[in-house]
Structure 1
Amino acid sequence: MPETIATPHRHPHRNPRRLRRSLAALALSLCVPGSLVLAQPQASMVSVKVETANMRQGPGTGTAVLWQLHRGYPLQVVDRRNTWIKVRDFEGDEGWVSRRLTGRTAHHVVKVPTANLRGGPGTGHRIVGKAEYGELLRTLERRGDWVHVRRADQQKGWIARRLLWGW
């Protein structure tokens, strides 16, 4: 029997598919000696669809603004409350954003000090530019472990997915 089993902290009984995944993960963990199963649902992503959006301390315009997010900024949805969504950014910071200010346009953020922008999806392709930590990139295509992106200056290239955070 495993030492630790992590279960979803959100009400799995409200979503039959999530409950089935959790039960399947539990069953698997009981069959594999010493296994640790993290039965968490895959989080959904959104991006800011307006020029700027306020990230707030709580769900509502009466709560403090923590910071502003710019168009395209990707966010991981961690909770929902009426017309508000609780989100997490690439650095793990959390806050609330009005759902109507978000959309489904895929973007990534560079999560390493410097990432090579390449002419094709692989290290065999020449470096055509560099992207810096925190830089916002529009996602054009995903191919295996590589993401085709466009920078704010319109330069396009491929970056290894492990160097990015987002969709």
Structure 2
Amino acid sequence: MKSARLFVLCAALLAVTGAAHALEFKSIGPVPAVFYDAPSPKGRKVFVAPRGMPVEVVLTYGEWVKVRDMAGDLSWVQARALVQRRSVVVNAATARVRSAAEEAAPVVFTAEKGVLLDMVDSPVGGWLKVKHRDGQSGFVRVSEVWGE
């Protein structure tokens, strides 16, 4: 009986821990942002992130946010440089953006690796609705982009 309670307690803790580690993404705001190696403007500048670049939020420390970029590199950026509006970046050699969220739908446009797309809606069934800065929109496979 004691081991059964311990098992239930451990399972509950694992469930809470898993929920606490949900990924949070934001994007760089309307102006490029300096990434630092420490949460201070006195830290070493390591990168200038372009506007719209998606980042994964790892930790918030006062006015600073530790972020992970598409390459997996960790840096610090001032919180005011980030916005809630979401972007994704193509991580496949060529992503096919389709007119509907299905493989058989016609291709609206293609996007090469590194192209930034605005996220229009949350992912559904492995597809994400996106919009290119030229105004074209459609659905891309979640596996072909990073930042969602």
Residue 113 of structure 1 and its aligned partner are, at CA, apart by 1.2
**Aligned counterparts of 1:163 and 1:43: Cα–Cα separation in 2:** 18
- How is 1:1-167 mapped onto 2 (pairs within 5 angstroms)? 24=12, 26=14, 39=18, 41-142=21-122, 143-167=124-148
Q: Return the letter of the residue paired with 1:122.
A: E
Structure-2 separation of matches of 1:69 and 1:42: 24
4+ runs deviating over 3 angstroms: none
- Aligned-residue identity in percent: 28
Q: CA deviation at 1:23?
A: 5.0
Q: Which runs of 5+ in 1 are unaligned?
A: 1-20, 29-37
Q: Answer 1 or 2: higher relative contact order, Cα 8 Å, separation at least 6.
A: 2
Deviation readout 1:52-84 (Å, 9 max, x if unpaired): 111111111111221111222111111222210
**Secondary structure of 2:121's aligned partner:** strand
Separation of aligned partners in 2, 1:88 and 1:163: 18
Aligned residues: 137
- Alignment partners' CA distance in 2, 1:72 and 1:158: 19
Cα RMSD for the two superposed structures: 2.1
TM-score using structure 2 length? 0.82
Deviation at 1:22, TM superposition (A): 7.2
- Looking at structure 2, the residues matched to 22 and 52 of structure 1 have their Cα atoms a distance apart, in angstroms, of 44
Unaligned 5+ residue runs, structure 2? 1-8
